[in-house]
Each structure stands twice: as C-alpha cells, then as structure tokens.
Structure 1
Amino acid sequence: MFKLITVRDIVRIPPNRFGGDLNEVAAEILKLEYEEKITPNLGFIIAVVDVIDVGIGKLLPGNGASFNHVTFRVLTFKPDMYEIVEGEVVEIVEFGLFVRLGPLDGLIHVSQVTDDYISFDIKKGTLLAKETGRVIMEGDKVRARIVAVSIGTGGSRSGKLGLTMRAPYLGKTEWIQDKILGIEPERKPKEDKGDKRRPPKESKRKRKRRR
C-alpha cells in the first residue's frame, strides 16, 4: 500500500535558479508538482523523498529555462485489489461507514459490515447488529479487504475505495480478538410467535351431517 517508487521526468528550471544546487532546486520544483496529487500509475503521492540524479539541461529557442531529465523517488499510497487494510472509523452514515486509510477514506456499505442485519442509530451515530448486539462507532479500529478501487487524478479526495468486512478475521479489532480466543457473540433469542396457522375448515358434507 505505501510504496517507494522511482520516477523519471523532465523538470523545467528557470534562469533565476541556475546558480543554486540543481538537486535542491529540482526537489523544490518536484514537490510543488507532485506532492498531494493523485495519478492512476502512482496513486496518492505523499512526498518527494529525494532526487537521485539531475541530467544535463537542454535549452530551447525562445525559452531561457533549462529542461533537465531528473530521476527521483516518491512515497506513495497505492491501494491494491483484495489487499487487507486497517484503519479508523471516521464517519458513520445511514448507508455505511468511512474508514481513514492514510490519505484516503474507504467506504464500507452496511451490507458489507457483517452477516447480521445492521441498523443505523441516528441519535448515537452508530451501527447496530440486530442479533449479536455488536456496535460500531466513530474511533473504532477495523480491518477490511479492498474490493473496489477507483483512482482519479488531481486532488487528494478524487480516489474512491470500496471495502468489505464480511470474511473471517475481518471487522472490529475486538471482534477479531474474540474470534481468535474462540469467544462467540451472544445472539438474542428469537421470539416465539407461536403457531398462527388457522385451523382447517370443515367440509360442507360434515356440516350437513351435524345438522
């Protein structure tokens, strides 16, 4: 998920920066161009870590700047399909919950929280499992699997992640710990509604005999 990637690009160095250290100048320019941006190939770029090499610059007619091939490394956040991730619940809404995963938030739809029926408590801002009584609230730590990735371009919120917790050893950290220890959640007993079936109707022949 967090990766160090080596990148090669052309950097335009303006004439007023020719007297400075080229590595430092290139690093400053690259930070402005790359950091806190999203690209399909690199994911979310957190930081330009260092500049490895600055090539000999080329001058173009009518442009006083120098164009240099620069090799550098970036620290990125690039989620992969089916990857297991851990994060903190930062928001709960009627249709699911949002989990903070580094620079991006992932969405877990209510249908992907547990196998239990989930309801939203609007007053408390929590999700409640009907049978087990388990509760999820803001600040909970959860483990989930990435099932959908949509990486856009530009700002830090243009990427979307879909997550699920409906698998063994996924969910709230407390649930996972209970699973490891063999502790099963207490399920609410089902209500005994009794036999509401109607008694069989008597046939017309039996009614005539009685008369």
Structure 2
Amino acid sequence: MYYKMKLEDKVRVPPLRLGEDIETVVMDVLQEQLEGSIDKNIGIFIAVTKILGIGEGDIIPGDGAVFYSVEFEAIVLRLAQQEVIEGIVVETTSFGSFVSLGPIDAMLHVSQISDDFISYDEKNGRLVCQETKRQISVGDGLRARIVSLSLSEREPRESKIGLTMRQSGLGTEQWLADEAEKEKSSHGE
C-alpha cells in the first residue's frame, strides 16, 4: 500500500552547492539519495514531495559540507506478507509472469497461477490454462496476494517478491470479470 509519510533525516549539502537556494539543494539531495531506495522499516521510496522544515546547519571539522536536519514528506510503498495487491504483467516466461507493482516487480510462478495445468505459448508470449483456457499476457492487469517478501536495502534490484492467484477473488481483470458475470447469471439476474 502507498503511504504519504512525514520523515526526518540529516542531509549533507556539498560545499559547491552552498551558494544556491538551500531548499532546492536539500530537495535535490533527498531525491537523489532516497527515490528508488528501500528501507525495511519505512518501505520503498517513490518520491520526496515536500520539504517541511530545515534546521540549523552543522559543520564537521575536516568536511567542507554543511549537515542540515530536515523534515520532509515522501510517498512510499510498504508491502506486507499476505497483502492483496494489483499490478500489470510486464513479462511472461515458461516459468511464470513478472508483475509490475509500480517501483518494483514481483514474480508469479506458474505453480501459483491456478490448479489447472499451464502451458507457455511462446509465439504469442502468454501463459494458458489447459482446462479453462484462461490466459495471462503482457499488459494484463491482475490481483494477487504476496506470499513471499525479501527486500534488499543494499541492492533493491535483488529484492524478491512472490505472488499467488490460487485463491478466490484473485486473478487477471478478465478472469475476475468473467467470475462476476458467472455469479450474476447463477443468481438469475
């Protein structure tokens, strides 16, 4: 889930930028350092949106920079085990699909898609359920549950997120629409 958070940090303003507008410099430094990074306690930083306050600067002997205490707002994505998320399929392979959750991709393994046997249609780049003929293709929106979560602060690209769609209420947008239609017709509506 996405959160708008109020945070505090120390920001190092390099000596070459001391003559510039301090708020602009602090925003640049925060955006460069935080956006796209992961903090296990906070989440995945999407954007630093606003500087709320800048404290007095501290000078450390031997370093020409000034260190400022800064209060700011940021948008973060905080994922949790068993959370239901929505994403878009960005790649299909013989072993599953990669799903974009915004700033990070997750893996939906073929064993977690359906109880059906699933084959990979390499020519059309899609996964096909043999019995139900349901398909997953690049560009499909889907709803899934997070079943494994391993975020790496040092190497965000090495983070691993595993998904499942093997529960009711989960699947591609088309699958969910088909289920709703089937439910509606079974009630005589």
Equivalent residue for 2:170? 170
Q: Would you say 1:132 and 2:132 are equivalent positions?
A: yes
TM-score of the two chains, using structure 1 as the length reference: 0.79
> What per-residue deviation string (whole Å, max 9, x for no partner) do you get for residues 73-93 of structure 1?
211222121111112111111
Indicate the SS of the match to 2:180: helix
Once superposed, what is the RMSD of the aligned Cα atoms?
A: 1.9
Q: Would you say 1:182 and 2:161 are equivalent positions?
A: no
> What per-residue deviation string (whole Å, max 9, x for no partner) do you get for residues 20-41 of structure 1?
3322221111112112222222
Q: Would you say 1:40 and 2:31 are equivalent positions?
A: no
> What per-residue deviation string (whole Å, max 9, x for no partner) do you get for residues 130-185 of structure 1?
2112222222221111111111124552322111101111111121122222269x
> How much has 1:123 moved relative to structure 2?
2.6
Equivalent residue for 1:52? 52
**In the alignment, is the contact (CA less than 8 A) between 1:35 and 1:45 conserved in 2?**
yes
Structure index of larger Rg = 1
Equivalent residue for 1:87? 87
Percent identity between the aligned chains?
41
Return the alpha-carbon distance in structure 2 between the equivalents of residues 10 and 18 of structure 1: 16
Equivalent residue for 2:143? 143
Alignment of 1:13-24 (within 5 A): 13-24=13-24
Indicate the SS of the match to 1:50: strand
Q: Where is the strand percentage greater, Structure 1 or Structure 2?
A: 2
Q: Would you say 1:102 and 2:96 are equivalent positions?
A: no
> What per-residue deviation string (whole Å, max 9, x for no partner) do you get for residues 24-77 of structure 1?
221111112112222222332121111111111122223332221111121122
Structure 2 stretches lacking a partner, 5+ long: 185-189
Structure 1 stretches lacking a partner, 5+ long: 185-211
Return the alpha-carbon distance in structure 2 between the equivalents of residues 17 and 141 of structure 1: 44
**In the alignment, is the contact (CA less than 8 A) between 1:38 and 1:158 conserved in 2?**
no
**In the alignment, is the contact (CA less than 8 A) between 1:6 and 1:73 conserved in 2?**
yes
Deviation larger for 89-98 or 120-129: 120-129
Cα distance, 1:81–1:68 mapped onto 2, change above 3 Å: same
